[in-house]
Amino acid sequence: MIQGYNDHAANERTYLAWVRTGIAVIAFGLVIEKFNIFISTIVRAAAGEAGLNVPLERLAGPFGRWDGLALILGGVALLIVATVRFVRTTVLLDDPATHSAKSVRLEVMVSAILILVVASYSIYLAIG
C-alpha cells in the first residue's frame, strides 16, 4: 500500500481537474479563432459579391485579433502551472517532514488573467 495514498489521490484529482480546465480553455480559444476567420471570410465574400467596401475594423479590432490566441496561451500556461504544482506537491507529500502551505499567487494570477480575457471577449461580442 502507498503511504499517504489518500493525499496522493487527492493531489492527482486536483491535477486532472486543472488539466481538464486548461484543455477546455485552449479549445475555447481555438473556437474563437475559427469563428473570427469564418466571420471575416463571410464579410469579405458578401462585400465582393455586392461590390461594396465593408469595413472590417470592428472584426479586426484588438479583441478580434488577439482574444483567441490569449486564451490558447492562457490554457497552456494553466497546464504548465498545474504540472509544476502537481510535481511540487507530490515531492512534499513523500517527505516525512512537516511543511507549511505554499502560496497560490501564481495560480490565482493565471486564473484572473483568463477571467479578464473571457470578460473582455464577452463585452466585445455584446457591444459589437
Per residue in 82-102, pLDDT tens?
999 999 989 888 888 887 777
Per residue in 26-72, pLDDT tens?
998 888 888 777 777 776 776 666 655 555 555 555 566 678 888 89
Instruction: Give the residue extent of every domain in the chain.
Output: 5-127
* Minimum mean pLDDT range among 8-12, 22-26, 101-105, 108-112: 101-105
Polymer length in residues for the chain: 128
